[in-house]
């Protein structure tokens, strides 16, 4: 084990030496274990940026803290899967489990009493290693070393048995997974090096299928199929309890390498992926090195310096976590599984999946438009493909499944932002607008009330949150309508976007639900710090501020600048208690500000709109240093597919897009001393924070390209031109 890691270190050092003197090993700054504890729900495994595959462990434990299949507090594995959600609040996936063993077939059936039985094994974190592109663990039960790496659509596994072990077996488990139920599985022998099959299941996603082809480095000596405890005749089996067991010739070799390709479309698509991404000359070590090189290249798109190593670790780990999604969901032959349950051919674009839009419209996508211009066209066209296939824009969609999770239609501001920033091709902009307009004029998801009343009445569950999310969605549609010259549509959606004001109770000074006649219910017993049926994963304190599209209007609604600042101060100093019935997502408390959940993420920047940028700076530093860290519990809540990380990255660079789309980035309090990235126009934009430190948190003056700059924000249009933004920091 020590020899292996020493060899890897030498390879990395040699690669660095071969580079120019400016080479940075960005991946060495990353700690993939950050967020694997304290409800972070972060996955670990071998992957590449935006790849479908994360080849990694699945633990025995089940429940909310096992959404990714991995929770740091657990110590038992049941196998290794090529596909994992990371940082979500719901469980699914973990399909196609592989487990190396010795002896006969072992089958774990999900019972807690089967600890270290079935095909489970204890492991210790002391003999576990991971970095971008690689994961390794020792299975204590058999003394087998398991290593994982990946390309975009192929997971590589290398299993090393103790020296001289002649009984080398691998169990393929299509029954177990992460909190879903298998409904149709098939496993089949192809030849003495290859098996294939599929697993269809129902869970958070109503129905998804993962097709696979697995190719082994050694000949298969014995192949057996099992349905539960019963061995079945023949070389294939179709069952919801399908297992396969492979036994290999020893031949003086202690290692078996598995190349596992997956597809959402077909076995043929998986085979095409295998042939495209696993060449005969490739080895596990070469693929692992290539994966790390790829992570280095992508993380190097933002070159940032800091005053301390902790900030650097958090920043580049955040960048690593952010680039785990969306997933490439197009096979090498151009096919993908669509949102209508059919197989489609991607015409002129690469299809991507996994759109956690309620989370990611806030920071992930505004950040991606800055430093990932090469991804925007494919992402926009992927969103439009979902719209064509299912008849409305995605809400929370993965692997061709619309889960309808969370409120609002949050792909609307994401696509609107892409249109406004010039990422959607001109011949697709009208289609994008019509997709947004059509979706927001539908009658589903309580949208009928927005057309009838301009708000959601309290007869509907979570009416306050739904109204406020729909209002900012409407504002986003209005901005695109204005850009494309649709004047009537602009006026309609803009006016509808102000409907949130109807929920403001001037007596209690909070957003409250109202009935169809526009009346508030009795205020008796109202407690703004308690979660009720009117709010989604939050309370009246947190949802008072969810009007980022009309921050100036919100200032006036709350009584002007002085009253607004006083109320905002109260949010951060209020008692943090949220009641016994509050959801676990309401976490990371600073007063009643909940950084562990997304509706709070823009709030600290609202001081800017009331002329108190200094207060934005002060509270941001408090949030940064209290809610992020370098340990396993270094996230305040679910990572939520990169949103928690993207918030940190933007804040560390000194600005944040508060408005849902369009590109006005409000200044905060930068953590970097210097950071730079390439923009949409191929220019370099650089941020410099002079005299920055933990004490010098306030922006004293700003220069843009050497000239004094008086605004408390910078426009996207100025960023993409390239240049230098200088912050002069002080106490």
Query: By mean pLDDT, which of 310-319, 376-385, 460-469, 523-532 is the weakest?
Result: 523-532
Q: Is residue 642 located within the same domain as residue 515?
A: yes
Q: Is residue 363 located within the same domain as residue 263?
A: no
Residue 313 domain-assigned? no
Does position 2 have pLDDT exceeding 80, yes or no? Answer: no
Does position 685 have pLDDT exceeding 50, yes or no? Answer: yes
Residue 331 domain-assigned? no
Sign of the CA dihedral with 593 first, then 595, 601, and 605 last:
positive
DSSP per-residue letters across 98-123: EEEESSS-----S-TT-TT-TT-EE-
Q: Is residue 291 located within the same domain as residue 436?
A: no
Residue 428 domain-assigned? yes
Q: Is residue 118 located within the same domain as residue 226?
A: yes
Q: Is residue 479 located within the same domain as residue 597?
A: yes
User: What's the CA gap between 95 and 369, in Å, rounded?
Assistant: 32
Q: What is the pLDDT of residues 660-676, one digit of tens each?
A: 999 999 999 999 999 99
Does position 418 have pLDDT exceeding 80, yes or no? Answer: yes
Residue 307 domain-assigned? no
Confidence of residue 230 (pLDDT cuts 50, 70, 90): confident
**Predicted pLDDT at 118:** 77
Give which of 362, 366, 363, 376 is closest to 326, Cα–Cα. Answer: 376
Any idea what the CATH number is for the domain that residue 38 is in?
Answer: 2.70.98.10
388 SS3 class: helix
User: What's the CA gap between 447 and 458, in Å, rounded?
Assistant: 14
Q: Is residue 697 located within the same domain as residue 630?
A: yes
Q: Is residue 533 located within the same domain as residue 617?
A: yes
Give the residue from 299, 329, 364 where a domain finishes.
299
User: What's the CA gap between 687 and 730, in Å, rounded?
Assistant: 16
User: What's the CA gap between 320 and 34, in Å, rounded?
Assistant: 11
**Predicted pLDDT at 290:** 98
CA distances (Å), 473 to each of 249, 354, 369, 540, 553, in order? 60, 20, 19, 20, 16
Q: What is the pLDDT of residues 480-493, one digit of tens each?
A: 999 999 999 999 99
* Cis amide linkage into residue 326, ω under 30° from 0: yes
Residue 662 domain-assigned? yes
Work out how many domains the chain is built from and give that number. Answer: 2
Residue 325 domain-assigned? no
Helix axes 364-371, 643-653, angle to 10 degrees: 60
User: What's the CA gap between 358 and 588, in Å, rounded?
Assistant: 18
Q: What is the pLDDT of residues 75-99, one digit of tens each?
A: 999 999 999 999 999 999 999 999 9
- Other CB atoms within a 10 A radius of the CB of residue 518 amount to 12
CB burial of residue 525 (10 Å; 0-12, 13-18, 19+):
exposed
**Predicted pLDDT at 9:** 43
Does position 267 have pLDDT exceeding 50, yes or no? Answer: yes
**Predicted pLDDT at 11:** 42
User: What's the CA gap between 501 and 261, in Å, rounded?
Assistant: 52
**Predicted pLDDT at 561:** 98
Q: Is residue 289 located within the same domain as residue 410?
A: no
Q: Is residue 204 located within the same domain as residue 286?
A: yes
Any idea what the CATH number is for the domain that residue 637 is in?
Answer: 3.30.2080.10
More confident residue, 466 or 117: 466
Q: What is the pLDDT of residues 387-410, one digit of tens each?
A: 999 999 999 999 999 999 999 999
What share of the chain in percent tops pLDDT 90? 90
Q: Is residue 386 located within the same domain as residue 254?
A: no
Q: Is residue 270 located within the same domain as residue 380?
A: no
**Predicted pLDDT at 10:** 40
- Summarize the chain as % helix, strand, coil (round to 5): 30, 25, 45
Does position 13 have pLDDT exceeding 60, yes or no? Answer: no
Counting every residue, how long is the chain?
731
Residue 315 domain-assigned? no
CA distances (Å), 619 to each of 227, 315, 595, 637, 674, in order? 58, 19, 12, 19, 21
Q: What is the pLDDT of residues 174-215, one digit of tens each?
A: 999 999 999 999 999 999 999 999 999 999 999 999 999 999
Range of the domain at 77: 2-299
Residue 309 domain-assigned? no
pTM (two decimals): 0.95
Q: Is residue 643 located within the same domain as residue 708?
A: yes
């Amino acid at each position: 084990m020590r020899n292996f890691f020493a060899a890897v270190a030498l390879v990395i050092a040699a690669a660095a030496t071969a580079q120019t003197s400016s080479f940075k090993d960005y991946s060495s700054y990353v700690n993939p274990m950050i967020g694997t504890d304290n409800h972070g729900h972060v996955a670990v495994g071998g992957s590449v940026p935006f790849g479908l595959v994360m080849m990694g462990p699945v633990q025995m434990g089940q429940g909310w803290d096992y959404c990714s299949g991995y929770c740091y507090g657990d110590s038992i594995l049941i196998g290794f899967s090529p596909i994992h959600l990371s940082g979500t609040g719901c469980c699914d996936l973990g399909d196609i489990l592989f487990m190396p063993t010795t002896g006969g077939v072992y089958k774990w059936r999900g019972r807690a009493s089967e600890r270290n039985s079935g095909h489970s094994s204890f492991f210790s974190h002391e003999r576990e290693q991971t970095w971008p592109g690689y994961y390794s663990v020792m299975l204590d039960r058999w003394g087998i070393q398991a290593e994982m790496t990946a390309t975009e659509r192929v997971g590589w596994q290398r299993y090393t048995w103790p020296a001289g072990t002649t009984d080398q077996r691998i169990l393929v488990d299509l029954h177990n997974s992460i909190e879903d139920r298998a409904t149709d599985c098939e496993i089949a022998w192809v030849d003495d090096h290859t098996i294939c099959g599929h697993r269809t299941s129902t869970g958070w996603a109503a129905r998804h299928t993962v097709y696979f082809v697995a190719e082994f480095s050694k000949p298969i000596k014995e192949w057996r199929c099992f349905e539960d405890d019963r061995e079945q005749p023949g070389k294939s089996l179709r069952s919801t309890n399908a297992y396969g067991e492979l036994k290999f010739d020893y031949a003086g070799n202690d290692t078996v390498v598995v190349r596992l390709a997956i597809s959402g479309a077909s076995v043929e698509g998986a085979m095409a992926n295998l042939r495209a991404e696993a060449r005969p000359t490739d080895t596990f070590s070469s693929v692992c090195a290539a994966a790390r090189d790829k992570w280095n290249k992508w993380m190097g798109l933002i070159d940032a310096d800091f005053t301390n190593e902790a900030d650097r670790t958090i920043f580049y780990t955040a960048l690593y976590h952010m680039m785990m999604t969306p997933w490439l969901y197009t096979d090498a032959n151009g096919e993908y599984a669509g949102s209508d349950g059919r197989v489609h051919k991607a015409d002129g674009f690469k299809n991507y999946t996994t759109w956690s839009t309620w989370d990611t419209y806030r920071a992930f996508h505004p950040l991606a438009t800055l430093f990932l211009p090469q991804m925007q066209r494919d992402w926009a066209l992927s969103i439009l493909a979902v719209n064509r296939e299912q008849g409305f824009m995605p809400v929370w969609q993965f692997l061709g499944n619309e889960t309808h999770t969370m409120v609002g239609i949050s792909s609307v501001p994401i696509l609107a932002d892409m249109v406004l920033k010039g990422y959607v091709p001109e011949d697709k902009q009208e289609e994008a607008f019509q997709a947004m307009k059509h979706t927001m004029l539908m009658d589903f998801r309580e949208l009928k009330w927005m057309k009838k009343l301009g708000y959601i009445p309290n007869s509907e569950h979570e009416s306050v949150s739904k109204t406020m999310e729909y209002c900012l969605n409407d504002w986003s549609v209005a901005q695109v309508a204005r850009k494309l010259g649709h004047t009537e549509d602009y006026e309609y959606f803009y006016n509808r976007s102000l409907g949130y004001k109807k929920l403001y109770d001037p007596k209690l000074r909070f957003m409250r639900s109202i009935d169809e006649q526009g009346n508030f219910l009795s205020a008796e017993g109202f407690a703004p710090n308690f979660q009720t049926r009117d709010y989604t994963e939050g309370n009246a304190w947190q949802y008072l501020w969810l009007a980022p599209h009309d921050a100036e209007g919100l200032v006036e609604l709350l009584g002007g600048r002085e009253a607004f600042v006083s109320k905002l101060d109260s949010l951060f100093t209020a008692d943090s208690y949220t009641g016994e019935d509050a959801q676990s997502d309401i976490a990371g408390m600073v007063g009643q500000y909940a950084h562990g959940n997304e509706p709070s993420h823009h709030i600290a920047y609202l001081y800017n709109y009331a002329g108190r940028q200094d207060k934005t700076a002060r509270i941001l530093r408090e949030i940064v240093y209290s809610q992020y860290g370098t340990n396993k519990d270094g996230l305040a809540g679910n990572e939520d597919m990169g949103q928690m990380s993207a918030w940190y990255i933007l804040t560390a660079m000194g600005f944040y897009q508060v408005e849902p789309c369009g590109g006005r980035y409000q200044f905060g309090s930068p953590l970097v001393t210097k950071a730079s990235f390439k923009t949409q126009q191929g220019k370099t934009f650089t941020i410099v924070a002079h005299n920055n430190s933990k004490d010098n948190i306030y922006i004293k003056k700003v220069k843009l390209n050497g000239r004094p700059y008086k605004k408390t924000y910078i426009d996207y249009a100025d960023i993409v031109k390239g240049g230098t933004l200088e912050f002069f920091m002080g106490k």
